[in-house]
Amino acid sequence: MSLKDPLTFATGGDALDRAAHLRPKSAEMARQGGARLLPQWQDKPLIDISGPEPALGWITPTPEVLGKCAEAPVFLGLVDGAPRFTADVSALSEEDAQAAFGPRTKFIDLRAIAGQITKPEANIVAAAKGVIGWHRIHPFCARCGAASAPEDGGWRRKCGDCGALHFPRTDPVVIMLIVRDDKLLLGRQQVWPPGLYSLLAGFMEPGETIEDAVRREVFEETAIRVGPVGFITSQPWPFPASLMLGCWGVALDEEITIDDEIEDARWLSRAETAMALNGEHPQFASPRQDSIARWIMTAWIEGEIEVPAVP
């Protein structure tokens, strides 16, 4: 794994053309012969389990299938020139939902299979999961409280009363490689598996720059002051709808004082971090394979991310 390796969810290549200009025509496009639809039940995408590796469970959007959807399907875009849609079938019982699409498919939590499907499919399902999740928790107008309905191929909702337009949201999160000399600052949440430590992270607040958010979050959680900050890369994280903004930062001091947001924080040497990533450390475990945290930590270990020395 290195900076040259694509991040899960982040790189779809040319697999999906979002074709936003076609969204107003999505209803008629769903009736095209090559159209395909990805059903989702309770935030779980339909997965084809018939082959040696799992794949997205694309089906034909027949009238019978569309009748099982809570709302009109969302137009995701074009794949090889053919329209692709997603829709929520959560109104069905689990038994009925599973039976509706055949024994060679199954609704599976995306966290469980994200690292097994192809990178282009992971990118597509990140968009699909995010937009359907938004529809499911935003059925009413945030301005007046009246019911709203999807428009523009599912990429906005319009209030039936006051006419307000609402759009899918993405929550920006900074995640930080905080380094001092040859040591890396890692933290852990109480709910995480034993021994798991990862990069510090936190949601951005209104009116903040990325740099300000990095410094604030690190200081709030550990009382470590951060000087220079730089951007590395980003990753969509559809749990439920975040955009991880990977950054590096230079720690100006070393003494850690944790607050109640995290359970613990530690400085690990480059050698200790490498052992954790390789599963060889007796005390520390590393983040999951498809996470931006592991990708950044690995790139730092391999010398692909250079962080300036302490000012």
Q: What is the pLDDT of residue 64?
A: 92
Residue 36: phi and psi, rounded to 5, are -135, 150
Q: What is the pLDDT of residue 6?
A: 82
Measured between alpha carbons, how far is residue 311 from residues 186, 226, 259, 267, 289 in Å? 21, 10, 26, 19, 33
pLDDT at 4 over 80: no
Total number of domains in the chain:
3
Q: What is the pLDDT of residue 311?
A: 77
Average pLDDT, the chain: 94
The domain that contains 238 carries what CATH number?
A: 3.90.79.10
Q: Phi-psi category of 127—alpha, beta or left, where left has phi over 0 and alpha has psi -120 to 50?
A: alpha
Does residue 152 sit in the same domain as residue 238? Answer: no
Nearest alpha carbon to residue 179 among 302, 272, 266, 307 = 307
Does residue 228 sit in the same domain as residue 111? Answer: no
**Which residues face 245 on adjacent strands?**
174, 234
Question: Which pTM value belongs to this model?
Answer: 0.93
Q: What is the pLDDT of residue 98?
A: 87
The domain in which residue 243 lies consists of 171-301
pLDDT tens-place string over residues 31-79: 988 999 999 999 999 999 999 999 999 999 999 999 999 899 999 999 9
Q: Which band of pLDDT confidence, cut at 50, 70 and 90, is reported for residue 307?
A: very high
Sign of CA dihedral 272, 276, 279, 285: positive
Cis, peptide link before residue 6, omega less than 30° from 0:
no
Give ∠ CA 52-58-64 in degrees, rounded to 5: 135
Q: What is the pLDDT of residue 22?
A: 97
Does residue 142 sit in the same domain as residue 131? Answer: no
For the chain, give the percent of residues with pLDDT over 90: 89
Q: For residue 187, tell me if it sits in a domain.
A: yes
Does residue 75 sit in the same domain as residue 184? Answer: no
For 253, other C-beta atoms within 10 Å of its C-beta total 13
206 CB burial (10 A radius; 0-12, 13-18, 19+) = exposed
What crossing angle do the helices spanning 292-301 and 270-277 adopt, rounded to 10°?
Answer: 130
Does residue 197 sit in the same domain as residue 229? Answer: yes
